[in-house]
Structure 1
């Protein structure tokens, strides 16, 4: 699966939430997420632009691999995710295999949906407020069309495409 994603820093969470609702987005839920990232055994994920993490989402656990970003504008990349039963046991497996753990990223995420587009307002510990817009697609051929869709939403929110941040929260914290 390919995840087409754009992210921007925001100042006013309530204002953006209201604007999203005015565009037809519906509030879905608010949740806490803790992401534990690992660096590679045979390569440095900072250099290859990959990511491997364990996510704790309100007590549900997932392992996610993210491939390198596909374009120079967005955070579009391949993403493979699977649910797991035990976060701590998975963490121990990764460590015993030689993966290097980095400090976790913690955030409170408010999720909004409009059709098949997700909007998340993230309050990231130590970094501040961000808006992420994303849509998953089965193949890369639809990327440009979806990216245009997301750019139109940003424009409707009076956010310039120059404000797009391609770095992950991990990169923004300088933890990778």
Structure 2
């Protein structure tokens, strides 16, 4: 799966929500997420622009690999995700294999959806408020990536947010603690 995504820092959450609803987005849910990241054994994921994490999504657990970003504008990248039963056992397996655990990222996420576009408003511990706009496509639809990115950029413009505000860094990179264990 390819996740076409753009992210911006916001400080006007209520205004953004009001505009999303005006454009037909519906509130889906509010949830807690904790992401436990790991750095590689044979390579430094900071240098290869990859990510490996265990996500606690309100008590449902996933392990996710994210490949390098595919363009210079967005956070579009390959994402492979598998549901797991026990996050602590998976965490232990990864640590025993030599992966280096990084301090977790915690956030409260509010999800809004219109068609196949998801708008998430994240309140990230220690970082503040962000808006993420994303749409997922299959690997075979990679030729549609630019078209979808333009669709998300148009939505961003409709929200009166300049594309100059786009942040390509992950929350982990923004926190500046990728290498801290």
Pairwise TM-score range, normalised by the shorter structure:
over 0.9
User: Is there any run of 5+ residues in structure 1 with no aligned partner, and where?
Assistant: none
1:125 and 2:125 aligned: yes
Instruction: Give the Å deviation of 1:87.
Output: 0.4
Aligned residues: CA RMSD: 0.5
2:167 is matched with: 165
1:30 is matched with: 30
TM-score (norm 2): 0.96
- Distance (whole Å) between structure 2 residues aligned to residue 18 and residue 109 of structure 1: 16
User: Is there any run of 5+ residues in structure 2 with no aligned partner, and where?
Assistant: none
- Distance (whole Å) between structure 1 residues aligned to residue 159 and residue 133 of structure 2: 12
- Distance (whole Å) between structure 2 residues aligned to residue 68 and residue 45 of structure 1: 9
Q: How does 1:92-131 map to 2 (within 5 A)?
A: 92-131=92-131
2:136 is matched with: 136
- Distance (whole Å) between structure 2 residues aligned to residue 163 and residue 15 of structure 1: 17
1:175 is matched with: 177
- Distance (whole Å) between structure 1 residues aligned to residue 100 and residue 108 of structure 2: 25
Provide the secondary structure at the position in 1 that maps to 2:68: coil
Instruction: Give the Å deviation of 1:15.
Output: 1.1
Instruction: Give the Å deviation of 1:148.
Output: 0.5
- Pairs aligned (count): 176
Q: How does 1:38-77 map to 2 (within 5 A)?
A: 38-77=38-77
TM-score (norm 1): 0.99
Provide the secondary structure at the position in 1 that maps to 2:69: coil
Provide the secondary structure at the position in 1 that maps to 2:53: strand
